[in-house]
Chain A
Amino acid sequence: MKLTLKVWRQKNSDDKGKIETYNVDNISEHMSFLEMMDVLNEQLIAEGKEPVAFDHDCREGICGMCSMFINGEPHGPGKGITTCQLHMRSFNDGDTIYIEPFRSRGFPVIKDLIVDRSAFDRIQQAGGYISINTSGNTIDANATPIPKDDADKAFDAATCIGCGACVATCKNSSAMLFISAKVSQLALLPQGKVEAKERVLAMVEQMDKEGFGNCSNTGACEVECPKGISLENIARLNREFLDASITSDK
């Protein structure tokens, strides 16, 4: 395959940045999108130019590090995949592909396609945990049976990889799918119920501080989420938040 790539280049966070055009040849349909980017970078290095900086690590769709906006979609075309799982068979010979970083006020660009997602860490630090020490002196793991349905729902929410596609695709730059995943996981489990109210209030407060918008139910996040995190979690987040706002002592 021959492709034309329109890639966002930005030297650092102070640079204005612009789209550059590159051509690549001999791209196999079995390559992953990132392997295609490797080919481009090898080509740039051979020409003595600076390669395109992009985040990536596990290359199997679980670490959440890769983060490109490809032809107007986070992680590109295809459902339920990250950029590293996108294969070139999704494109045609002669295509022009636009590659940009995730865009949001909460995710400033560091370089080229790399953005700063530390806002997500700070939201988790605000309350995305159960306050127990790791002494091992807890009760036996089977002492508290958990209905399978609750455990399965908690698991489904917990599969969020924190990539930020939900924010990147949302017209409001809302991080509510991300937050609702953690709030739901812990609210569905008896272990997490103890602090559920404080948790939801603290996480939402931090979300607002980071400059993320609110949810207006367009549902783009659910469509683009590589892990298929359900919009139901946002509904649960809203219920938890409302309940906590009215009944919490804080």
Chain B
Amino acid sequence: MSKELNSKVPTGQLKDLWTAHKDHIGLVNPANRRNIDIIVVGTGLAGGSASASLAEMGYNVKAFCFQDSPRRAHSIAAQGGINAAKNYQNDGDSVYRLFYDTEKGGDYRSREENTYRLAEVSANIIDQCVAQGVPFAREYGGLLDNRSFGGVQVSRTFYAKGQTGQQLLLGAYSAMNRQIAKGKITMYNRHEMLELVVVDGKARGIIARNLVTGKLERHSAHAVVLGTGGYGNVFFLSTNAMGSNASAAWRAHKKGAYFANPCYTQIHPTCIPRSGDYQSKLTLMSESLRNDGRIWVPKNMEDAVAIREGRLKPTDIKPEDRDYYLERRYPAFGNLVPRDVASRAAKERCDAGYGVNKTGEAVYLDFSSAIMRYGKEQANLHHEYDASDDRIRELGEKIVEAKYGNLFQMYEKIVDQNPYKTPMMIYPAVHYTMGGLWVDYNLMTTIDGCYCIGEANFSDHGANRLGASALMQGLADGYFVLPYTIGDYLQHEIRTGKISTETPEFDEAEKNVKERLEFFINNKGTKSVDHFHRLLGKIMWDNVGMARNEAGLKEAIVEIKRIREEFYKDVFVPGEMNEMNPELEKATRVADFMELAELFAVDALHRTESCGGHFREESQTEEGEALRDDKNFAYVAAWEWTGNPGEAVLHKEKLEFKGIELKQRSYK
């Protein structure tokens, strides 16, 4: 029963669309909202802000998170900042420019009307957050400070040191708390959604497992909102939290929600390199570091080898013997090229043999120039015109500490090296997934009444997300978009009344979940869940990672199937179902990753162009840059589940651009 894609984008001038849409969209009156229930799964920036806003409007919200508190959602780990077209720095920024940069940064693979709306509401986010008490960084005059991020030529990023995500999430959490206290949000901590319940084609509830007691619970609602984040952990090693998973979105996919562009993955250029096989996750160092850090590897192979063997230190390499390869290849943007470009450039140098740690997979991020530059500025301010180099360095280190102190501290804790004195080592790692559930302009999936917001949907970032745009999208969707658009659907639900959980659909859904859980408990295999997750992650990283080709992808599809079969045959899950059982939680998540991974590879195989984070070796310019194929691939690939990830049916949403001219992306 396949469904045609209808993006429901209103017609008209790009800059007026959202306002006009809001003016004409259906509303639910306040008295009726009290009789309508909404389930929100996930309490990150998207889910948390949506829960708070919907509850303020008067809907009855049931919010779910698998962590012990909504405040722990992984949005909390976002470091660098949040974009907004405020133009406080008077550097020519505007809504259009933010839209333009986001669309271009995404390599022209996002729906321009969604991206424009995102840019449009961005300024409101900052007003809102300041009013909530979010302590953004300020200048001495008391006004808000900004920094610059990759892929743009203005300073539009608002930040709170290296903890911007934490501060914004705690803002959303506080807005939630106000509604929890009023009883408008019922909070279900340590609960995990394991199935979506669809009744007569409409999303009507979920089956959730109470992770403390292990009991399955039925929850009904008039609409279900998924704000459950991305699927980066399909790679096993990523910067995502250990618990981050794709199960909610994948369950919705299997119930009829199309999955869009699964192959669009962001590999973040500035992460701490891996140190051994026991590694459980990777840690990101904020992209904001590229404002002041210069990226380099040795120019001469002998030096690179000497460094790897510990015979030379990075500080021994003379400036003229360093290859600042981003500044060399991309003079206009230098170290601030977008993430996909910076990541591939690092891989290129390391593949060529210039890597600087034992594994050969690391490049330097060096702050010595910035320290001296700031130091001189400070010396002048202090009237110390003949300060020694040591004194200048001391003054400069203070400024760098004020800007990035917590990041430097984090690095030192993990690597046991002082980044003020010796360059950091970094390497790309999986960080964010642009793909996700397909949604229309109202953020509804192809299942009526099932919405998807934040990283979990596909809509705003195309094939590559710019830095500081994830926080923007999460809050835009939750605070300012969904609360309006959901009314358009719920206006037809005011006469529905309470939805019963004692129906054949809920019986069936709960039975399926129970069988899945029983399977794992009774399987009594010989290997742990992590064992299989690592195997899956390795094949994904090697064949479906930063560079992809036809042969590698075909091999990956075969391998993924094989690993999946092995997993079901031989996985061992200790413990029982009706108790707290972290291994069982992992098993159901990894089972869903095993299927998603295959669709991921199928999508990557079908898209024979390169765009943004999706780099097909067959499609590159002579200089090795990503080469798009707009004639054949200017569409969103939305996949429909037909019983097997390898046999998903492709639906295409053609991308049309009225507000922007398609160009080959250049950051030179």
Q: Tell me the A residues contacting B by CB distance below 8 Å.
A: 11-12, 28, 30-32, 34-35, 38-39, 42, 44-46, 48-51, 53, 55-65, 80-81, 85, 87, 89, 110-111, 114, 116-118, 120-121, 124-126, 128-136, 138-142, 144-148, 151-152, 154-155, 158-159, 161-162, 185-186, 189, 191-192
- Say whether B160 contacts A155, CB under 8 Å: yes
CB<8 Å pairs between A and B, sample of 9 = A28-B276, A59-B283, A87-B413, A111-B580, A121-B70, A129-B132, A139-B131, A145-B142, A154-B133
- Say whether B189 contacts A60, CB under 8 Å: no
List of A residues within 8 angstroms of B144 by Cβ:
141-142
| Max chain B Cβ within 10 angstroms of own Cβ: one of A87, A148, A191 | A148
| Max chain B Cβ within 10 angstroms of own Cβ: one of A28, A44, A57, A87 | A57
A65–B142 CA distance with the chains assembled, in angstroms = 34
New A-B pairs, 19, CB < 8 Å, besides A28-B276, A151-B136: A42-B530, A46-B528, A48-B574, A58-B74, A60-B284, A62-B77, A63-B72, A63-B74, A65-B67, A110-B212, A135-B56, A146-B142, A148-B140, A159-B163, A159-B166, A162-B69, A162-B71, A185-B133, A186-B133
List of B residues within 8 angstroms of A125 by Cβ:
177-178, 180-181
- Say whether A63 contacts B167, CB under 8 Å: no
| Max chain B Cβ within 10 angstroms of own Cβ: one of A31, A129, A141, A162 | A141
- Say whether A64 contacts B72, CB under 8 Å: yes
- Say whether B416 contacts A87, CB under 8 Å: yes
A146–B138 CA distance with the chains assembled, in angstroms = 8
- Say whether B242 contacts A134, CB under 8 Å: no
Distance (whole angstroms) from the CB of B597 to the closest CB of chain A: 22
A11 to chain B: closest residue by CB: B579
Distance (whole angstroms) from the CB of A126 to the closest CB of chain B: 7
Within 8 Å of chain A (Cβ to Cβ): is B17?
no
B260-283 interface mask toward A, CB cutoff 8 Å, 1 = contact, 0 = none?
000000000000000110111101
A181–B413 CA distance with the chains assembled, in angstroms = 24
List of A residues within 8 angstroms of B175 by Cβ:
129, 134
- Say whether A117 contacts B68, CB under 8 Å: yes
B147-183 interface mask toward A, CB cutoff 8 Å, 1 = contact, 0 = none?
0000000000000110100110010011101101100
- Say whether A192 contacts B128, CB under 8 Å: no
- Say whether A57 contacts B410, CB under 8 Å: no
A52–B189 CA distance with the chains assembled, in angstroms = 21
Distance (whole angstroms) from the CB of A84 to the closest CB of chain B: 9
B406-425 interface mask toward A, CB cutoff 8 Å, 1 = contact, 0 = none?
00011001101000000000
Number of interface residues of B (CB under 8 A): 79
List of B residues within 8 angstroms of A124 by Cβ:
173-174, 177
A157 to chain B: closest residue by CB: B135
User: Contact check: which of B69, B76, B125 meets A58 at CB < 8 Å?
Assistant: B76
B101-129 interface mask toward A, CB cutoff 8 Å, 1 = contact, 0 = none?
00000000000000000000100111111
- Say whether B580 contacts A141, CB under 8 Å: no
- Say whether B574 contacts A57, CB under 8 Å: no
A to B contact number (C-beta, < 8 Å):
211
List of B residues within 8 angstroms of A116 by Cβ:
68
B524 to chain A: closest residue by CB: A48
User: Contact check: which of A30, A59, A111, A140 meets B281 at CB < 8 Å?
Assistant: A59
B563-591 interface mask toward A, CB cutoff 8 Å, 1 = contact, 0 = none?
00000000010110001101100000000
Within 8 Å of chain A (Cβ to Cβ): is B243?
yes
A152–B242 CA distance with the chains assembled, in angstroms = 31
Given A30-B276, A125-B181, A148-B139, also A57-B241 (CB < 8 A):
yes
Within 8 Å of chain A (Cβ to Cβ): is B381?
no
Within 8 Å of chain A (Cβ to Cβ): is B319?
no
Given A87-B414, A124-B174, A145-B141, also A31-B278 (CB < 8 A):
yes
List of B residues within 8 angstroms of A49 by Cβ:
574
Interface residues of B in 520-545 (CB under 8 A from A): 528, 530
List of B residues within 8 angstroms of A145 by Cβ:
138, 141-143
Within 8 Å of chain A (Cβ to Cβ): is B53?
yes
- Say whether B212 contacts A126, CB under 8 Å: no
Distance (whole angstroms) from the CB of A50 to the closest CB of chain B: 5
- Say whether A57 contacts B127, CB under 8 Å: no
